[in-house]
A and B are shown apart, each in its own frame.
Chain A
Amino acid sequence: MDDWKPSPLIKPFGARKKRSWYLTWKYKLTNQRTLRRFCQTGAVLFLLVTVIVNIKLILDTRRAISEASEDLEPEQDYDETLGRLEPPRRRGSGPRRVLDVEVYSSRSKVYVAVDGTTVLEDEAREQGRGIHVIVLNQATGHVMAKRVFDTYSPHEDEAMVLFLNMVAPGRVLICTVKDEGSFHLKDTAKALLRSLGSQAGPALGWRDTWAFVGRKGGPVLGEKHSKSPALSSWGDPVLLKTDVPLSSAEEAECHWTDTEMNRRRRRFCSKVEGYGSVCSCKDPTPIEFSPDPLPNNKVLNVPVAVIAGNRPNYLYRMLRSLLSAQGVSPQMITVFIDGYYEEPMDVVALFGLRGIQHTPISIKNARVSQHYKASLTATFNLFPEAKFAVVLEEDLDIAVDFFSFLSQSIHLLEEDDSLYCISAWNDQGYEHTAEDPALLYRVETMPGLGWVLRRSLYKEELEPKWPTPEKLWDWDMWMRMPEQRRGRECIIPDVSRSYHFGIVGLNMNGYFHEAYFKKHKFNTVPGVQLRNVDSLKKEAYEVEIHRLLSGAEVLDHSKDPCEDSFLPDTEGHTFVAFIRMEKEDDFTTWTQLAKCLHIWDLDVRGNHRGLWRLFRKKNHFLVVGVPASPYSVKKPPSVTPIFLEPPPKEEGAPGAAEQT
């Protein structure tokens, strides 16, 4: 190692020469480790900054909130933004003076758009055939009414004429045809269209398409029409685009005197069309009624629940009759609407009543039964002191002495535990089978259609076990079941105090209405004094029946009970007939008798321990089922009970029992 000499290439070992600071920093910065460190620090700094900004934001927001509510207790607020679903409506009418309207008519689709918003669109198959009519407010462009008239079918054109005649002058009318609208478009309707200025409407032919925009009483604003070339084909689709000039708000409204009532009327009439003379400028129908007060009114503080859906014109008719009844307390009325429909709420607001909307649950009849439950619970919640509630529906006319009838009979519901309800409806009370408005019966059925519900019955028995939403049951059929009714009876009048006028509904149709409801007797006599009300209590009623049967004349049982000649041509007598009724549930003969007498025969109604009471030819007619009825003892031994056999079943026997 002695001759080791340092290599000249290698730098001498010793203190490093100082580099220039530029190089030092360059090396430091480009060094991998430094770079990494730099990035890490950068990331941490960035995070810190974000955190600080967030904290500051939170503190600021907190401070802002606490300033806003410094007087108040921070409280949970549910559903503050429960919005009501609104149908598509024209957006704010600023200084716009013109509406841009599009109308489309074709075989399978119709639509109408106002300023870009579709207000009508129907391209579903198998429905919406005929002439669609839309009424717009001439000052705002707001949709006031939407109707469809299936003028392919008979009588719809008459409805259309009725409707169009009721529309106020100046309103914008839009018509469009889907599929076919001329087959039953008769002369009166055609003349009306001509008077609107339409040229194609009066000449509408088979399967033609037609779109029309005009004013009621004023000029046509646009019209397009396409003739169908052959019987088997349709007219071409037509698309009509027009500009509709808007009038001022003042021109669109009437000038009624400024009262609270007319303010409500104005609000209603500027939103809704199709209610005729309510909105007439010259002679508006009254919307406030002053029926005679009822002296000693025992039902003054009984809440009234009107169960409604989306049939606003029915609701309108019903509320008019309700508010005209003697002894009505408008502040006790609550209308429960099954769904967020505007027009029924508008009708309720027109009359100044309280309306509550219910979010619909479930489907079909279960939806109705859930709506009933919510409405009844709400009624008893809103009126915690009330021991009863009156339950009405939107398709009933209410008799002028409805409350008088209840005032005289309600003490029975209070005093007699064997009673289930009081109802205004006699299932068997037709024009030819009901006579005496002062007469009451006890029956083993729950007719509904205008009735009184005891609070204790609802709260203790019905509400806890009301059918749940998935059970597709009719609420009234459920209430009639023996598990619910438990052998209790309802009080009904001989002549009904309500009239069911609804033709359209979940369980209704025109034929059903004609057959079972149209000829129902309805009391129009005011202030009827009910006779011998206390004889409707349990034991007293038996005494009364006994008295009636003892004095009744036994008819000739060899004659045909379906014939009018079964009863002699007297008036005011009491007759009794005995029919075969083997067991408590044997209704074979009764059902046949009900059928031939044209009263309710879809199921058994109106009986009390095997006894039915009605009138025939203005005589009181009692029917006793032998031997099931305890009143069979009144049958003379020589009399054979009548037996009516059901006819042999033909194919396609008429459908199952349908109830409303």
Chain B
Amino acid sequence: MGKLNNANESSLKIINAYLNEGWFRIAENMGFQCLKIESKDPRLDGIDSLSGTEIPLHYICKLATHAIHLVVFHERSGNYLWHGHLRLKGHIDKKFVPFQKLQFGRYPGAFDRPELQQVTIDGLTVRIPKNPVHFLEEIPHSRFIECRYKEARAFFQQYLDDNTVEAMTFRKSAKDLLQLAAKTLKKLGVRFWLSSGTCLGWYRQCNIIPYSKDVDLGIFIQDYKSDIIIAFQDAGLPLKHKFGKVEDSLELSFQGKDDVKLDIFFFYEETDHMWNGGTQAKTGKKFKYLFPKFTLCWTEFVDMKVHVPCETIEYIEANYGKTWKIPVKMWDWKNSPPNVRSNGIWPISEWDEVIQLY
């Protein structure tokens, strides 16, 4: 692997199983000037008001013109590693190192757990990921946003959570379905994000909405692969209906167990907005749902690492309007969303192709 490059700054990542700070003192004794960034543990935020000691997020040690940035990764439910935001509290010297140039810390980040291998570089034994390319590729797409636990608690103060057996069973089935879908799409290498009711559940209450009836995912149309349908079938989710075509308004729906459906909406990109399509099977009417452009961020939802739109509030408000905070049990996909537009009608000749029900 050769020499360590980045003469002026190197990033080291460590996994925090139990961080012993003896090394900190040794570094200081050697002449390093070290800076420690810590913050509250986000894994405790989801639970009503727990507060422990702060956890270390970043260490930056400086000696002359060299600086070492030590990023502390923490394990989280969902089998991923998370690192925190490098936020400088009031008294810290903003010129300690050129913070703008640091590769990590601009946002919190989430990474798949890498397997490590031991190598020798410059006579030092260090560990690096077994698949360094994969790890490096993750970096630009690693931005992580936390679920809004505080707002979710406020929501449940107002609208009591549904604790009936039906709600619990639905939640469990939906969670299982989501996990299966995630696994299948990951194997195919297809990116997806939480959409519609599932996204609203994440944003509003950090949980699956009990009366939502199905799991909704979004996929960029350019990520579409023709073997999606077969892959889901093999995973035990038969195709329930297929609307539209790759060129226009594609929508897939798979049948999960316990009557829970998996709806996949494909998003098309225009110059200044995104949209996905809908079809009414009986009449062949087409619908278009408009969204402002968005990028994808990671988040944690029902013990899984999944994507959501980074610009979530705009996404939600496009789909549900400004009154998204108020639970609505009767939602008509043809009329209720504020961003729905009628988009004409499929010509009858195409109906066999664009409306397939099983």
A465 close to B (CB within 8 Å)? yes
Would you list the 7 A-B pairs with minimal beta carbon distance, nearest first? A359-B49, A356-B52, A331-B18, A384-B77, A71-B99, A381-B43, A374-B47
Docked Cα-Cα span, A381 to B47, in Å, equals 10
* B residues less than 8 Å from A355 (CB atoms): 52-53
| A72 near B168: Cβ-Cβ < 8 Å | no
Contact code string B38-72 (vs A, CB < 8 Å = 1, else 0): 00110111111111110000000000000000000
* CB of B336, distance to nearest CB on chain A (Å): 29
| B48 near A361: Cβ-Cβ < 8 Å | yes
| B88 near A356: Cβ-Cβ < 8 Å | no
Query: Which one, B77, B88, B99, B150, contacts A78 given CB within 8 A?
Result: B150
Contact code string A461-495 (vs B, CB < 8 Å = 1, else 0): 00011001000000000000000000000000000
Q: List 21 A-B contacts (CB under 8 A).
A: A72-B85, A73-B85, A73-B107, A82-B51, A331-B17, A355-B53, A356-B44, A356-B51, A356-B52, A358-B50, A359-B50, A361-B48, A374-B48, A377-B46, A378-B43, A381-B76, A384-B77, A459-B303, A460-B172, A464-B168, A465-B163
Docked Cα-Cα span, A201 to B75, in Å, equals 59
Docked Cα-Cα span, A6 to B260, in Å, equals 107
Q: Which B residue sits closest to A78, measured CB to CB?
A: B150
A357 and B150 in contact, given A381-B77, A385-B75, A465-B168 (Cβ under 8 angstroms): no
Docked Cα-Cα span, A460 to B49, in Å, equals 23
* B residues less than 8 Å from A381 (CB atoms): 43-44, 46-47, 76-77
Interface residues of B in 234-266 (CB under 8 A from A): none
How large, as a class, is the contact surface on chain B? 35 or more
* CB of B17, distance to nearest CB on chain A (Å): 8
* CB of B91, distance to nearest CB on chain A (Å): 11
By CB atoms of chain A within 10 A, which of B46, B50, B87, B172 has the most? B50
Query: Which one, A68, A357, A468, contacts B51 given CB within 8 A?
Result: A357
* B residues less than 8 Å from A459 (CB atoms): 303
| A72 near B52: Cβ-Cβ < 8 Å | no
| A464 near B88: Cβ-Cβ < 8 Å | no
Contact code string A144-173 (vs B, CB < 8 Å = 1, else 0): 000000000000000000000000000000
A645 close to B (CB within 8 Å)? no
Docked Cα-Cα span, A382 to B79, in Å, equals 12
* CB of A197, distance to nearest CB on chain B (Å): 42
B186 close to A (CB within 8 Å)? no
* A residues less than 8 Å from B75 (CB atoms): 383-385
Interface residue total, chain A, C-beta cutoff 8 A = 35
| B52 near A354: Cβ-Cβ < 8 Å | yes
* CB of B89, distance to nearest CB on chain A (Å): 9
Docked Cα-Cα span, A503 to B356, in Å, equals 71
* CB of A352, distance to nearest CB on chain B (Å): 11
B100 close to A (CB within 8 Å)? yes
Contact code string A367-380 (vs B, CB < 8 Å = 1, else 0): 00010001001101
* B residues less than 8 Å from A361 (CB atoms): 48-49
* A residues less than 8 Å from B45 (CB atoms): 78
Interface residues of B in 67-112 (CB under 8 A from A): 75-79, 85-88, 90, 94, 99-100, 106-107
B286 close to A (CB within 8 Å)? no
A187 close to B (CB within 8 Å)? no
* CB of A454, distance to nearest CB on chain B (Å): 16
A79 close to B (CB within 8 Å)? yes
Docked Cα-Cα span, A380 to B44, in Å, equals 10
* CB of B80, distance to nearest CB on chain A (Å): 9
| B168 near A354: Cβ-Cβ < 8 Å | no
Docked Cα-Cα span, A69 to B163, in Å, equals 43
B307 close to A (CB within 8 Å)? no
A357 and B52 in contact, given A71-B94, A72-B106 (Cβ under 8 angstroms): yes
B204 close to A (CB within 8 Å)? no
* B residues less than 8 Å from A384 (CB atoms): 75-79
Q: Which B residue sits closest to A357, measured CB to CB?
A: B51
Q: Which residues of B contact A (CB under 8 A)?
A: 17-18, 40-41, 43-53, 75-79, 85-88, 90, 94, 99-100, 106-107, 149-150, 163, 168, 171-172, 303
Q: Which A residue sits closest to B44, measured CB to CB?
A: A378
A539 close to B (CB within 8 Å)? no
Docked Cα-Cα span, A336 to B94, in Å, equals 36
A75 close to B (CB within 8 Å)? yes
A468 and B79 in contact, given A377-B47, A382-B43 (Cβ under 8 angstroms): no
Docked Cα-Cα span, A451 to B116, in Å, equals 34
By CB atoms of chain A within 10 A, which of B51, B78, B150 has the most? B51
| A378 near B168: Cβ-Cβ < 8 Å | no
* A residues less than 8 Å from B52 (CB atoms): 354-357
| B43 near A79: Cβ-Cβ < 8 Å | no
Docked Cα-Cα span, A361 to B50, in Å, equals 11
Q: Which A residue sits closest to B21, measured CB to CB?
A: A260
* A residues less than 8 Å from B171 (CB atoms): 464
| A71 near B88: Cβ-Cβ < 8 Å | yes
Q: Which B residue sits closest to A377, measured CB to CB?
A: B47
Docked Cα-Cα span, A331 to B149, in Å, equals 27
* CB of B88, distance to nearest CB on chain A (Å): 7
* CB of A13, distance to nearest CB on chain B (Å): 71
| A374 near B50: Cβ-Cβ < 8 Å | yes
* B residues less than 8 Å from A79 (CB atoms): 40, 150
Interface residues of A in 496-522 (CB under 8 A from B): none
Docked Cα-Cα span, A484 to B44, in Å, equals 26
* CB of A376, distance to nearest CB on chain B (Å): 10
Docked Cα-Cα span, A651 to B351, in Å, equals 84
Docked Cα-Cα span, A542 to B355, in Å, equals 59
Q: Which A residue sits closest to B108, measured CB to CB?
A: A75
Docked Cα-Cα span, A79 to B94, in Å, equals 24
Q: Which B residue sits closest to A385, measured CB to CB?
A: B75
Docked Cα-Cα span, A383 to B76, in Å, equals 7
Docked Cα-Cα span, A359 to B48, in Å, equals 8
A358 and B168 in contact, given A73-B85, A75-B85 (Cβ under 8 angstroms): no
* B residues less than 8 Å from A377 (CB atoms): 46-47
Docked Cα-Cα span, A105 to B307, in Å, equals 65
By CB atoms of chain A within 10 A, which of B47, B75, B107 has the most? B47
Docked Cα-Cα span, A69 to B86, in Å, equals 11
Q: Which A residue sits closest to B17, measured CB to CB?
A: A331
* CB of B165, distance to nearest CB on chain A (Å): 8
Interface residues of A in 371-415 (CB under 8 A from B): 374, 377-378, 380-385
* CB of A368, distance to nearest CB on chain B (Å): 15
| A72 near B43: Cβ-Cβ < 8 Å | no
